[in-house]
Amino acid sequence: MPAMSLAEFEALCRDEAPFCELFGFRVERFDETGAVVRLPFAPALIRPGGTIAGPALMALADFAVYAALLARIGRVPLAVTTGLTINFLRKAGAVDVLAEARLLKLGRRLAVGEVTMTAVGDDQPAAHVTATYAIPSSAVS
Amino acid sequence: MPAMSLAEFEALCRDEAPFCELFGFRVERFDETGAVVRLPFAPALIRPGGTIAGPALMALADFAVYAALLARIGRVPLAVTTGLTINFLRKAGAVDVLAEARLLKLGRRLAVGEVTMTAVGDDQPAAHVTATYAIPSSAVS
Amino acid sequence: MPAMSLAEFEALCRDEAPFCELFGFRVERFDETGAVVRLPFAPALIRPGGTIAGPALMALADFAVYAALLARIGRVPLAVTTGLTINFLRKAGAVDVLAEARLLKLGRRLAVGEVTMTAVGDDQPAAHVTATYAIPSSAVS
Amino acid sequence: MPAMSLAEFEALCRDEAPFCELFGFRVERFDETGAVVRLPFAPALIRPGGTIAGPALMALADFAVYAALLARIGRVPLAVTTGLTINFLRKAGAVDVLAEARLLKLGRRLAVGEVTMTAVGDDQPAAHVTATYAIPSSAVS
């Protein structure tokens, strides 16, 4: 069982995080093992070459780790990314992209997540991300 | 002198890169020494806590390196990011953010850029990025 | 079957890469799916706190990706790291560390590898690495 | 003035950090603005191609940030690297390498440092690093 419900997580995003809405992310899995988030394709995501712009995948990965983290620690909206590294592996065409995030580490003050992103229909990943989140002290139980 | 004009760069973004428009980036410097790009503040950029969402800064930095690179090599729209690392240094409030990008390396096949981003009015940077771009072979002169 | 034998890989390291000897790395798996490399514990690896110094793990990971890459592409000694990111997850005590490396991507010019390192006896990883290698043109078949 | 003397820092390395000795690092600047550390060339540092092995530069950069951090916060030996990203920019031949480290951020719990490494005699850098250190709570004044 996640530490908060998906409905609560979605309400948090809707109420306090207009940025989440910008890309129309859809959380497809949200539990204690991680999160899967879909980036619906939209023409506004295109970069030269007709592929999905890298920063859209960065945003997707960052959000997926946020979801995976809050699924574990509950409603701690002020958990913030302290660093993120993305490696692009293959271009993602004009289709939805799925991000699967899991935590590599969950400490009291820091969490590290890993994300694999795959364009729907591809069998090889489009990008890989590791991201570090700082957990505010007040959230430590 | 840059290898293409700022007007040409802006036309490229307008014509082939709808993603660039999403954030309303404004290129304020574009020459052989690098690029400065402004992210105008908008309420849609907010994350929980009232600060600018990290991925908006990732997008800004990625775009600033793209500008710095094309200012040096000219119109090579298919230059693509192969990897990017961001470190967040301090929160950026509800103001514009300026990104200053310069190239650490410009090889035949790879370029590496560095970006320092600062919220307008702050004297300390909000985030630091390094990013690697692959330059397609056809662009090699 | 790997693209070169483990004995050939070890000979390459012995003949051309004195750096490999510095840590006494032992390749325990070397095949087309990846590589496993052991860092034997030694007192010289200690940092303040009695744990293994981070750079020893960076060296281990970098070498493990090199092994995984050459197991796939054969004897291309001049394949070189272009970038590496490490996240430390938990301290590794005074024991051997095992690194398991696999390729996330193998392109003509670039390869990306991922490494998970675990101190012997721990059930959680000590560190995670992603690394990018440039493959020289002359190696392209 | 640094928060501890260079002699105290060198004693710490000698007494508690055998790993520091492995490469023979020499601290050439150590003050409140940062640190400069020299990696003396040694044949054991060579990788295929006759250039300095990447992990030797990773170790150098990590140590240089540790020096820059302790020059600011004093004797906190248990400050530990939580993450590090290196970008290789040009090969370093068989000469000494100088690393210049400075802090991009010094918070209560996290510090972020940046390092530029240059082979002696080169006018362009060999590698660039960003690294994050966790500062133990007991060190917070």
Q: pLDDT tens digits for B74-87?
A: 999 999 999 999 99
Lowest average pLDDT, out of A103-107, A136-140, D61-65, goes to A136-140
pLDDT at D139 over 80: no
Structure-token pair, residue A38:
């879909």
pLDDT at D112 over 50: yes
Structure-token pair, residue A27:
């959380």
Q: Give the rounded percent of residues in chain C with a pLDDT score beyond 90.
A: 87
Q: How far apart are the C-alpha atoms of A101 and B94, rounded to whole Å?
A: 29
Q: How far apart are the C-alpha atoms of A112 and D44, rounded to whole Å?
A: 34
Q: Does A125 touch chain C (CB under 8 A)?
A: yes
- Confidence bin at B17 (pLDDT 50/70/90): confident
Give how far C82 is from chain B: nearest CA, Å.
9
DSSP state of D13: H
Q: How far apart are the C-alpha atoms of D35 and D65, rounded to whole Å?
A: 7
Query: Is C128 among the domain residues?
Result: yes
Q: How far apart are the C-alpha atoms of A127 and A114, rounded to whole Å?
A: 11
pLDDT at D88 over 80: yes
Query: Is B61 among the domain residues?
Result: yes
Residue among A23, A51, A58 with most chain B CBs within 10 A, to mutate: A58
Q: How far apart are the C-alpha atoms of B93 and B116, rounded to whole Å?
A: 16
Query: Is B58 among the domain residues?
Result: yes
pTM: 0.96
Partner-chain residue, chosen from A87, A104, A132, that has the shortest CB–CB distance to C112: A87
What is the tens place of the pLDDT at every residue in B34-70?
999 999 999 999 998 999 999 999 999 999 999 999 9
Q: Give the rounded percent of residues in chain A with a pLDDT score beyond 70.
A: 97
Taking CB atoms and an 8 Å limit, are A132 and D85 in contact across chains? no
Q: How far apart are the C-alpha atoms of C64 and D14, rounded to whole Å?
A: 30
Q: How far apart are the C-alpha atoms of C27 and C2, rounded to whole Å?
A: 13
Are the CB atoms for A64 and A36 separated by under 8 Å? yes
Are the CB atoms for A38 and A28 separated by under 8 Å? yes
pLDDT at C139 over 70: no
In the prediction, which pLDDT does C138 show? 67
Are the CB atoms for B57 and B119 separated by under 8 Å? no
CB < 8 Å from B in window 44-103 of A: 44-49, 53-56, 58-59, 62-63, 77-78, 80-88, 91
Task: Report chain D's mean pLDDT, rounded to a whole number.
Answer: 94
Q: Does D24 touch chain A (CB under 8 A)?
A: no
Q: How far apart are the C-alpha atoms of B118 and B39, rounded to whole Å?
A: 10
Query: Is A61 among the domain residues?
Result: yes
Which residues in chain B touch residue A46, judged by CB atoms under 8 angstroms apart?
Answer: 17-19
In the prediction, which pLDDT does D141 show? 44
ipTM associated with this complex:
0.95
Q: Does D22 touch chain C (CB under 8 A)?
A: yes
Task: Report chain A's mean pLDDT, rounded to a whole number.
Answer: 94
Residue type, C90: R
- Confidence bin at B139 (pLDDT 50/70/90): low
Are the CB atoms for A115 and A59 separated by under 8 Å? no
Task: Report chain B's mean pLDDT, rounded to a whole number.
Answer: 94
Query: Is A57 among the domain residues?
Result: yes
DSSP state of B26: E
- Confidence bin at B140 (pLDDT 50/70/90): very low
In the prediction, which pLDDT does A139 show? 60
Concatenate the DSSP letters of all residues of D68-91 into one string: HHHHHH-S-TT-EEEEEEEEE-S-
In the prediction, which pLDDT does A21 show? 85
Give how far C123 is from chain B: nearest CA, Å.
28
The chains in contact with chain C, meaning 3 or more Cβ pairs closer than 8 Å, are: A, B, D
In the prediction, which pLDDT does B138 show? 67
What is the tens place of the pLDDT at every residue in A12-39?
999 988 888 889 999 999 999 999 999 9
Q: Which residues pair with D102 in a beta bridge?
A: D114
Q: Does D106 touch chain B (CB under 8 A)?
A: no
E strands, D8-96, are 26-31, 34-39, 46-47, 51-52, 80-88
Q: Give the rounded percent of residues in chain D with a pLDDT score beyond 70.
A: 97
Taking CB atoms and an 8 Å limit, are D44 and C58 in contact across chains? no
Dihedral sign for Cα atoms in the order B116, D114, C25, C43: negative
| Residue among D99, D94, D90 at smallest CA distance from D129 | D99
pLDDT at C70 over 90: yes
Query: Is D31 among the domain residues?
Result: yes
Specify the higher pLDDT residue, A75 or D138.
A75
In the prediction, which pLDDT does C92 show? 95
Residue type, D123: D
Phi, psi (deg, nearest 5) at residue C77: -60, -25
Lowest average pLDDT, out of B45-49, C8-12, D130-134, goes to B45-49
Q: How far apart are the C-alpha atoms of B103 and B66, rounded to whole Å?
A: 10
SS3 of residue C93 by DSSP: coil
Query: Is A1 among the domain residues?
Result: no
CATH number for the domain harbouring residue C107:
3.10.129.10
- Confidence bin at A140 (pLDDT 50/70/90): very low
Number of folded domains that form chain C: 1
Give how far C112 is from chain A: nearest CA, Å.
8
DSSP state of B135: P
Q: How far apart are the C-alpha atoms of B105 and B107, rounded to whole Å?
A: 6
pLDDT at B88 over 80: yes
Question: At a CB cut-off of 8 Å and minimum separation 6, what does A70 contact?
Answer: A3, A4, A9, A12, A76, A77, A79
What is the tens place of the pLDDT at every residue in A35-72?
999 999 999 999 989 999 999 999 999 999 999 999 99
In the prediction, which pLDDT does A141 show? 44
pLDDT at C97 over 80: yes
Which residues in chain B touch residue D132, judged by CB atoms under 8 angstroms apart?
Answer: 87
Query: Is D1 among the domain residues?
Result: no
Identify the domain containing residue B83 by its residue range. Answer: 6-139
Q: Give the rounded percent of residues in chain B with a pLDDT score beyond 90.
A: 87
User: If you measure CA to CA, which chain D residue comes closest to B130?
Assistant: D87
